[in-house]
Chain A
Amino acid sequence: MELSQTNLYTLCSILLFAIGLLGFLLNSDFIRKLLGLNVIGIAIFMLLLAAAHTYPDAIDPIPHAMVLTGIIVAAAGTALGLNLASKIAKFARLVQKEEAATQAESAYEKSSNDTQGRG
């Protein structure tokens, strides 16, 4: 098997897929997981595009159309994911703020109790 352009693209797409998969599975961070999914998506698109060039002189347009459709759908999914992630982060910030507030309050109470005790 010679290393033609198509084969090189196919090989690279598989490697890219492995990278994306590792990124998705190894990270626990929301955004990184989403990015990992995007890399996987791009790897699949690359595999499809490599399959479109099996003839040297003509291209097969159907994989190209599939990739265009796929990109838009992936973008939509990513947008929804980022939106949800930012809403969750907002909740986390709220919780943090509340905790900080209650801590400050209890610290204040404690110090006032202390002063009273001393008085």
Chain B
Amino acid sequence: MIKFLANNSHVIEKALIIILVTLFSAFFIFAIFNQAPHSNELQVLTLTQLDKTGVTNIVTAVLLNYRAYDTFIEFAVFLVVAIAVLPYIIDTPVLTFTLQEESQVLLIAKIFIPLTIIMAGYLLWIGSTKPGGAFQASALLAGCLVLLSLANVQVINFTQLRYRLLMSSGLIAFIAVILLLYLQSHSFLTFPVELAGASILVIEFFATFAIALILFLCFESINKGHA
């Protein structure tokens, strides 16, 4: 008996895990459907206050005004990852990628990149009224950079000061806005109605570049960062 258990220990372990997870899911379903969802009127509240936020898209209003503090910390999370994955910060081994020939990828890149940049700008701009905004735009921009990298065009040397500045620009813009508003209204992260739209746009504008660069860095660090 003991020998049997010892021989098949990993099979038994797996079976045990499957049984436990199944039981847990059953309990989960029971617990969730036993309880009616809430019926408070938060959405009404968010809507009635919407004209004080400087934007008309309700999700953007939550992200960058009602709960802007969460977004602020989220930028910091992104910067932490960037610092952790940067292959080198100060001294680099010199890596040069020469452009060998007109590869197919470069051909595609030449057509798509201008269009994508326009699309990203558009997404950033409509963020205040319709679904869209900094993250969507930055994902597109990061896509452009990835395309260039796959075509063997070295666009960015991450050891340079300006790219570190650009990577933290989202957070810097956010802090600058917070400090300026502090002078104006003497309270933390309060956007006065007349300045709210502009401040949110400034933050989103810089965040777009910062996040695009960090997303690209994440790709690059795995692709050929520490080869």
- A–B contact at 8 Å CB threshold (below): yes
Q: A residues touching B (Cβ–Cβ < 8 Å)? A: 1, 6-7, 10-11, 14-15, 17-18, 21-22, 25-26, 51, 54-55, 58-62, 64-65, 68-69, 72-73, 76-77, 79-80, 82-83, 86-87, 90
Query: Which residues of B lie under 8 Å from residue A6 when comparing CB positions?
Result: 37
Flag if B74 contacts A72 (CB, 8 Å): yes
The chain A residue with its CB closest to the CB of B133 is: A68
Q: B210 to nearest A CB, angstroms?
A: 12
Other than A11-B29, A61-B62, A83-B218, give 10 A-B pairs with Cβ distance below 8 A: A1-B33, A18-B25, A51-B38, A58-B43, A62-B46, A69-B63, A72-B77, A73-B74, A73-B77, A90-B226
Pair A65/B62 contact, Cβ less than 8 Å: yes
Q: Report B34-59 residues with CB < 8 Å from chain A CB.
A: 37-39, 42-44, 46-47, 58-59
Complex: how many Å from CA A79 to CA B82? 9
A61 contact set on B, CB distance < 8 A: 43, 46, 58-59, 61-62
Among B21, B71, B74, chain A packs the most CB atoms within 10 A around the CB of B21
C-alpha spacing A29/B145, complex, angstroms: 30
Q: How distant is the Cα of A59 from the Cα of B46 in the complex, in angstroms? A: 10
Chain A: minimal CB distance from B70 (Å): 5
Q: Report how far A6 CA is from B37 CA in the complex, Å.
A: 10
* B175 contacts across to A, CB distance below 8 A: none
B112: Cβ under 8 A from any A Cβ: no
Query: Do residues A69 and B17 form an inter-chain contact, with CB atoms below 8 A?
Result: no
For B22, the chain A residues whose CB sits under 8 A away are 18
* B84: interface (CB < 8 Å): yes
Q: Which residue of A lies closest to B63 (CB)?
A: A65
Chain A minimum-CB-distance residue to B136: A68
Q: Is the CB of B25 within 8 A of A51?
A: no
Q: Give the chain B neighbours of A83 by CB distance below 8 A.
A: 84-85, 218, 221-222
Chain B residues within an 8 Å CB radius of A62: 42, 46, 62, 66-67
For A21, give the chain B residue with the smallest CB separation.
B21
Tell me if A54 and B38 are in contact (CB < 8 A).
yes
A15 touches B38 (CB 8 A): no
Residues of A within 8 Å of B222, CB to CB, are 82-83, 86
In the complex, which residues of chain A have a beta carbon less than 8 angstroms from the beta carbon of B84?
80, 83
Residues of B within 8 A of A65 (CB): 59, 62-63, 66-67, 70
B223 to chain A: closest residue by CB: A86
Measured CA separation A54–B42 after assembly (Å): 12
The answer to whether the Cβ of B183 comes within 8 Å of any Cβ in the partner chain is no
Whole-angstrom CA separation of A25 from B215 in the bound complex:
28
For the complex, what is the distance from the CA of A18 to the CA of B25, rounded to whole Å? Answer: 6
Q: With A and B bound together, what is the CA distance between A76 and B74 in angstroms?
A: 9
A35 to chain B, nearest CB (A): 15
Contact of A64 among B29, B62, B74, B218 (CB under 8 A): B62
- Docked Cα-Cα span, A73 to B80, in Å, equals 11
